[in-house]
């Protein structure tokens, strides 16, 4: 069995027989089948070089820098994240993974908001909320492997009778289209207002028809769960008080952050006693002159007005594949694909630790590269 690193589901039931990848979603199968396509090569200022020279150049840049940020790390193992944190401490550098789940992750780890595991959801959950997330696209096996569709210990009669699905979004997403029998889709442009409406209804107050219907279903079970995505976080605007109240009434909350090892990143930085920076703010404020981008591609994820500022920086890109950001980098250091060509551990979206089972072996992975840079300094 292979552990898929396509998203934070970290599905550990994938079988690989030659070119046949069984049980994986399109993202997971693609990682294996296309692993040799568009691989990065060691580059200095766009010219081919060898690994040692690329790492030496990266060290040289870092020694001359006045402000450094390390960005990405969501596709890196816990081991690599911890070395990146050591490197950040050595350089007094900022770290950011680009995820907005920091506050909710911190609340889960501090037990300020009740959370549970995906296995428990499968076995016991009745009402399942997907709030501000389209998991059908971002975490394709989330519903089929862990939540809505599978039968569990206390949920033997299948999703049409033993589950109740609630999808909340600004649009009718593919996930919302699955809300048919024993399900409801609530369209909202005001998440905070809807959270308040749910809290009011749960306390016996007045609410709209859909909300009252969901509340009636919530009262049928003592195990209900909310999966919240980036849309929810954006909608709440960092005001979590009412939402925590809602989760306490509903049952449990699990982040629906698709980034593969985002929860690992949060746990790693909290354990190390450092705070997550906001890379976009660092670029806007011109706080840094150098960035190490690990397994991420900000040109493919950040607004143009901010991303264009990357051109002014010294950029060191560590990535298994050619990316847009690697095209503007000063140094490119090719790495292994985590879980495919190197092992280690990652945390699933519910903070469950998973040991990766690589099927190939690469000489250089994030751990080795970051270690070499650290030693060079």
Task: Enumerate binding residues for other proteins (CB under 8 A).
Answer: 6, 25-27, 30-31, 34, 37-38, 134, 136-138, 140, 170-174, 177, 258, 297, 299-305, 307-308, 310-311, 321-324, 327-328
Are 130 and 229 within 8 A, CB to CB?
yes
Six token digits for residue 307 = 């991303």
Q: Which is nearer to other proteins, 5 or 115 (CB)?
A: 5
Q: Which is nearer to other proteins, 224 or 326 (CB)?
A: 326
> Which uninterrupted H or E stretch holds 117?
none
Shortest CB 299 distance to other proteins, Å = 6
Q: Which is nearer to other proteins, 33 or 272 (CB)?
A: 33
Shortest CB 338 distance to other proteins, Å = 12
Shortest CB 320 distance to other proteins, Å = 10
Burial 207-235 (b: 16+ CB within 10 A, else e): beebbebbbebbeebebbbbbbbbbbbeb
Q: Which is nearer to other proteins, 206 or 311 (CB)?
A: 311
Q: Which is nearer to other proteins, 156 or 304 (CB)?
A: 304
Q: How far apart are CA 147 and CA 176, in angstroms?
A: 15
Q: Which is nearer to other proteins, 199 or 331 (CB)?
A: 331
Q: Which is nearer to other proteins, 250 or 329 (CB)?
A: 329
Are 298 and 310 within 8 A, CB to CB?
yes
Q: Which is nearer to other proteins, 37 or 206 (CB)?
A: 37
Q: Is 321 helix (H, G, I), strand (E, B) or coil?
A: strand
Shortest CB 352 distance to other proteins, Å = 22
Question: 15: how many CB neighbours lie within 10 A of its CB?
Answer: 11
Q: How far apart are CA 265 and CA 340, in angstroms?
A: 19
Q: Which is nearer to other proteins, 199 or 302 (CB)?
A: 302
Shortest CB 89 distance to other proteins, Å = 31
Shortest CB 72 distance to other proteins, Å = 14
Six token digits for residue 353 = 């630790």
Q: Which residue has tokens 């909350």?
A: 253
**What is the per-residue DSSP string for 174-224?**
HHHHT--TTEEEEE-S-HHHHHHHHHHHHTT----HHHHHHHHHHTT-S-E
The stretches of 17-142 forming alpha helices (DSSP H) are 26-33, 51-64, 78-91, 102-109, 118-124, 135-138
The CA-atom distances, in angstroms, between 201 and each of 61, 164, 236 are 58, 18, 19
Shortest CB 187 distance to other proteins, Å = 9
Q: How far apart are CA 147 and CA 182, in angstroms?
A: 14
Shortest CB 141 distance to other proteins, Å = 11
Shortest CB 2 distance to other proteins, Å = 16
């Amino acid at each position: 069995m292979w552990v898929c690193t396509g998203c934070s589901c970290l599905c550990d039931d994938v079988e690989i027989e030659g070119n046949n990848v069984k049980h994986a979603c399109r993202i997971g199968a693609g990682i294996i089948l296309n692993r040799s396509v568009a691989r990065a090569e060691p580059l200095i200022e766009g010219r081919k070089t060898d690994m040692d020279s690329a790492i030496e150049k990266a060290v040289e840049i870092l020694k001359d820098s006045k402000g450094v940020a390390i960005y990405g790390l969501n596709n890196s193992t816990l081991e690599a994240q911890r070395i990146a944190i050591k490197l950040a401490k050595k350089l007094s550098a900022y770290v950011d993974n680009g995820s907005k789940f920091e506050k909710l992750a911190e609340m889960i780890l501090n037990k300020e908001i009740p959370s549970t595991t995906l296995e428990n959801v499968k076995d016991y959950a009745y009402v399942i909320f997907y709030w501000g997330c389209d998991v059908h696209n971002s975490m394709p096996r989330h519903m089929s492997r862990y939540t809505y569709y599978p039968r569990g210990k206390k949920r033997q009669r299948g999703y049409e009778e033993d589950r109740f699905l609630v999808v909340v979004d600004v649009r009718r997403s593919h996930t919302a289209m699955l809300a048919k029998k024993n399900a409801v889709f609530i369209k909202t442009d005001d998440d905070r207002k809807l959270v308040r409406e749910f809290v009011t209804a749960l306390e016996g107050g007045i609410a709209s028809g859909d909300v009252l219907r969901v509340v009636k279903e919530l009262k049928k079970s003592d195990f209900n769960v909310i999966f919240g995505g980036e849309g929810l976080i954006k909608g709440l605007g960092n005001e979590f008080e009412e939402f925590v109240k809602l989760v306490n009434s509903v049952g449990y909350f699990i982040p629906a952050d698709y980034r593969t090892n985002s929860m690992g990143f949060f746990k790693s930085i909290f354990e190390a006693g450092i705070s997550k920076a906001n890379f976009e703010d660092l670029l806007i404020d011109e706080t840094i002159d150098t960035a190490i981008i690990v397994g991420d591609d900000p040109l493919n994820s950040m607004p143009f007005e901010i991303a264009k500022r990357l051109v002014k920086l010294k950029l060191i890109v560590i990535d298994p594949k050619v990316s847009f950001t690697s095209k503007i980098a000063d140094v490119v250091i090719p790495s292994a694909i985590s879980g495919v060509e190197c092992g280690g551990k990652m945390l699933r979206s519910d903070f469950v630790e998973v040991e990766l089972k690589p099927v190939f072996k690469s000489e250089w992975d994030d751990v080795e590269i970051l270690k070499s840079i650290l030693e060079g300094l």
